[in-house]
Amino acid sequence: QVQLVESGGGLVQAGGSLRLSCAVSGSFRSINDMGWYRQAPGKQRELVATITSGGTTNYADSVKGRFTISRDNAKNTEYLQMNSLKPEDTAIYYCNAKVVSRLFVVMSVWGQGTQVTVSS
Return the half-sphere exposure (C-beta side, CA atoms, 13 A cut-off) of residue 110.
10
Cα 33 to Cα 13: distance, rounded to the nearest angstrom: 31
Secondary structure, 3-state, 22-90: EEEECCCCEEEEEEEEEECCCCCCEEEEEECCCCCEEECCCCCCCEEEEEECCCCEEEEEECCCCHHHC
Grade residue 1 by pLDDT with cuts at 50, 70 and 90. Answer: confident
- Residue 71: its pLDDT value, please? 98
Residue 83: name the closest of 11, 19, 1 by CA. Answer: 19
| Tens of pLDDT, residues 31-64 | 999 999 999 999 999 999 999 999 999 999 999 9
Please give the backbone phi and psi of residue 89, each rounded to the nearest 5 degrees, phi first. -80, -10
Banded model confidence at residue 15, pLDDT cuts 50, 70, 90: very high
Task: State the pLDDT confidence band at 117, using cuts at 50, 70 and 90.
Answer: very high
d(CA 49, CA 58): 5
Are 17 and 86 a contacting pair, CB within 8 Å? no
Q: What is the pLDDT of residue 118?
A: 98
pLDDT tens-digit series, residues 60-114 = 999 999 999 999 999 999 999 999 999 999 999 999 999 999 999 999 999 999 9
